Amino acid sequence: MPCPRPGNQPIFLGVVGDSAAGKSTLTGGIADILGRDRVAVLQADDYHRHSRAERRQLGLTPLAPQSNHLDILEQHLCLMRRGQPVLKPVYDHTSGTLRPPERLEAKPFVIVEGLLAYHSRGMRDCFDVKVFVEPDETLRTSWKLARDCAQRGYSLVEAKDSLARRAADSAAHIQPQRSFADIVVRFTPAAEDENHLNARHLLRPTLAHPDLGPVLDAGGKGGFHLALARDSDGKPVDMLDISGRIEPRRAKAVEDLLWSLIPEASHLRAPLGRFTDTAGQDSTSHSLALSQLLITYHLVKAATGLAPAHP
Amino acid sequence: MPCPRPGNQPIFLGVVGDSAAGKSTLTGGIADILGRDRVAVLQADDYHRHSRAERRQLGLTPLAPQSNHLDILEQHLCLMRRGQPVLKPVYDHTSGTLRPPERLEAKPFVIVEGLLAYHSRGMRDCFDVKVFVEPDETLRTSWKLARDCAQRGYSLVEAKDSLARRAADSAAHIQPQRSFADIVVRFTPAAEDENHLNARHLLRPTLAHPDLGPVLDAGGKGGFHLALARDSDGKPVDMLDISGRIEPRRAKAVEDLLWSLIPEASHLRAPLGRFTDTAGQDSTSHSLALSQLLITYHLVKAATGLAPAHP
């Protein structure tokens, strides 16, 4: 299905990763910068084909392609890319049931969060910026158990069981999408403190990344470091490491540089990096904030046409 | 939105008219001829925006354009015309509530029944054959009261109240669509017997109608009569009258002629004209059967490309 985009139609960000990888936390700050009224967020989980009970009966996890209306998701992405509204299905995570559909109007920016949003060529072709989120697995497990029990009505045993059942589908269907991303974001605990996460960005050459030269560490210290490296698949990447312990002064210098590179968006400058910490409190992370800003940079550039998405 | 149709994509029949105008009874037989597995039936009522309770609160009838997701209906018609499946909303007439959406796959024939399916140019452009059903108003009132009370949980007072509230919206939004139809079908009681309905077809020159010469009444008697007339809007039409009392032998001659004109569909020949009579019993009507066959003629011709839809 061709997805032509007439002038001035939405810019698409994809944020794909396993469940509880931190997709919504990452995109929340990006939507805040861009302005909530200018952003449509599409949750690909809404395209689940079955209720939780039906999946159990069928022996399916939500990570399996056949557990989702992926062709309809692709169709809706294509429609929204042309600026059209969609009547999207609704999956209620709290009860695990399907609900009546809801309208989603296209906005200048569309953020798509999901498990399988890079599954087909047709879906991938819709995005201007493709991010894959891949936290340290211990971290993800703890996030997932906490969320499933607190918000989705699972017992701890059920949540652990769900994780185990999903492992094979994650390896078969979620992880392979990593190779399509322009940016792979990996959060890891800084020392033993889950509230200060290090962020590593693998920057693939499919996007024109900003020149970070002026704010990079000279000798590998200071918390903001770029190095040429080989990815786990052997391919060359720029590896940007943002320390969870970066000094506020250094973080501000990086922020200032990034904002100066998108002067067309300077009026959007807002507090970033908010997340819910392990004690359930609202907190702020510099490494998260900078990750959000780096991605926003690409969206603003795509919108203003100053940086071709694929140089 | 352009709706190009690649080769061999679905043929679209529209059947539009006020509620309880007999749309489903008419289309049921057509789907039976074409083969249920080759027909997708789309009920435009599923695109109601509100539950019955919400409409009451808002003071809206389902006949008002703003009570429906008409832009999404148009989008879905366009997608199905290109052979794509849609995830369509579901309105439950029994309870008057919105339900989780369901997949509808495109089939060689798509029949769209609804109140407002000719409302926009984009929707009208999707159809190969556009029928408007317009029964005698006394007949429609009795059908509507019977159905609303028996199947939709209304009391008689509520059903009558609903009819009264709908009258203005019907005049404003439903009736004007009559002018877009290729065929207007009007059922009227034969004498005082609701189980023998006369059918009058106004045949507009927007379709290449079959040559009925060999089976027309010579002197206006016999139950199958064609005359040049002026429509209620003053425009010229062919007016085909099929008597509810047409002799079975005559009805069979007309049927034979119509089947002979679509030899490519002769293997589909099946009993027609079934309806639920005033006593709630399954019954058969020759005038209904011939109406169904006349419409099917156009669908088969459109599918085989023997008759251009717009000569």
> In this complex, do B89 and A87 lie within 8 Å of one another by their Cβ atoms?
yes
CA B256 to each of CA B29, B201, B211, B249, B261: distance values in angstroms, whole numbers, following the listed order: 17, 19, 13, 11, 9
* Dist CA A191 CA A244 (whole Å): 9
**Minimal CA separation from B69 to chain A, in Å:** 9
CB-CB: which of A1, A85, A89 is closest to B71? A85
* Dist CA A114 CA A138 (whole Å): 20
Helix (H) or strand (E) holding B188: strand B183-190
- Cα B215 to its chain centre, rounded Å, is 25
pTM of the model: 0.90
* Dist CA B65 CA B160 (whole Å): 22
* Dist CA B255 CA B249 (whole Å): 10
> In this complex, do A89 and B101 lie within 8 Å of one another by their Cβ atoms?
yes
| pLDDT tens for each residue of A130-187 | 999 999 999 899 899 989 898 888 889 988 988 888 999 999 999 999 999 999 999 9
CB-based contact (8 Å) between A103 and chain B?
A: yes
CB-based contact (8 Å) between B83 and chain A?
A: no
**Minimal CA separation from B116 to chain A, in Å:** 18
CB-based contact (8 Å) between A220 and chain B?
A: no
Q: Which structural domains are found in chain B, ordered by start?
A: 11-304 (3.40.50.300)
Q: What percent of chain A has pLDDT over 70?
A: 93
> Of B187, B32, B45, B184, nearest to B112 (Cα)?
B45
CB-CB: which of B1, B71, B87 is closest to A89? B87
- Would you write out chain B's pLDDT as a tens digit for each of its 311 residues? 445 556 668 999 999 999 999 999 999 999 999 999 999 999 999 999 999 999 999 999 999 999 999 999 999 999 999 999 999 999 999 999 999 999 999 999 999 999 999 999 999 999 999 999 999 999 899 899 989 898 888 889 988 988 888 999 999 999 999 999 999 999 998 776 667 899 999 999 999 999 998 888 866 567 899 999 999 888 889 999 999 989 888 999 999 999 999 988 888 887 777 777 777 777 788 899 999 999 999 999 999 874 444 44
> In this complex, do A71 and B85 lie within 8 Å of one another by their Cβ atoms?
yes
CB neighbour list of residue B138: distance below 8 Å, 6 or more residues apart: B189
Helix (H) or strand (E) holding B122: helix B121-124
CA A83 to each of CA A23, A74, A78, A108, A162: distance values in angstroms, whole numbers, following the listed order: 24, 14, 9, 9, 37
> In this complex, do A100 and B100 lie within 8 Å of one another by their Cβ atoms?
yes
**Minimal CA separation from B260 to chain A, in Å:** 40
Residues of A in contact with B103 (CB under 8 A): 69, 72
* Dist CA A229 CA A227 (whole Å): 6
Please give the ipTM for the structure prediction: 0.86
CB-based contact (8 Å) between A93 and chain B?
A: no
pLDDT value of position A220: 55
- Would you write out chain A's pLDDT as a tens digit for each of its 311 residues? 445 556 668 999 999 999 999 999 999 999 999 999 999 999 999 999 999 999 999 999 999 999 999 999 999 999 999 999 999 999 999 999 999 999 999 999 999 999 999 999 999 999 999 999 999 999 899 899 989 898 888 889 988 988 888 999 999 999 999 999 999 999 998 776 667 889 999 999 999 999 998 888 866 567 899 999 999 888 889 999 999 989 888 999 999 999 999 988 888 887 777 777 777 777 788 899 999 999 999 999 999 874 444 44
Best to test chain B binding among A51, A74, A87, A120 (most B CBs inside 10 Å): A87
> In this complex, do A101 and B86 lie within 8 Å of one another by their Cβ atoms?
no
* Tokens of residue A195, six digits: 């509230």
Residues of B in contact with A98 (CB under 8 A): 100-101
> Of A4, A260, A256, A271, nearest to A126 (Cα)?
A4
Between strands A86-92 and A129-133, the pairing is unpaired
pLDDT value of position B309: 44
Residues of B in contact with A90 (CB under 8 A): 100
Residues of B in contact with A103 (CB under 8 A): 69, 72
**Minimal CA separation from B72 to chain A, in Å:** 7
User: Which residues sit opposite B41 in a β-bridge?
Assistant: B111
